[in-house]
Amino acid sequence: MDALLQDLRYAVRTLAKSPAFTAVAVLTLALGIGANTAIFSVFYGVLLRPLPYAEPDRIVGLAQAYAGVREARSVTYVQFQFLERNNQVFESLAGSASVGFNFSTGTQTDRVYGLRVSKDYFRTACASRRTTSASSALRRPSAAPSWPRRINRTARAP
User: Where exactly are the structural domains of the chain?
Assistant: 2-48, 56-129
pLDDT by residue (tens digit) across 82-115?
988 998 888 888 888 888 888 887 788 888 888 8
Please tell me whether residue 86 adopts helix, strand or coil conformation: coil
When the pLDDT of each residue in the chain is averaged and rounded to a whole number, the result is: 79
* Rounded Cα–Cα distance for residues 130 and 50 (Å): 11
pLDDT of 37 strictly over 90: yes
pLDDT of 66 strictly over 90: no
* Confidence band for 1, pLDDT divided at 50, 70 and 90: confident
Cα dist. 58→17, 123, 144, 147 in Å?
A: 61, 15, 32, 36
Average pLDDT over residues 51-72: 78
Average pLDDT over residues 62-81: 84
* Rounded Cα–Cα distance for residues 15 and 25 (Å): 10
* Rounded Cα–Cα distance for residues 82 and 93 (Å): 11
Backbone angles phi, psi at 101, to 5 degrees: -130, 150
Q: What pLDDT score does 13 carry?
A: 93
pLDDT of 134 strictly over 50: no
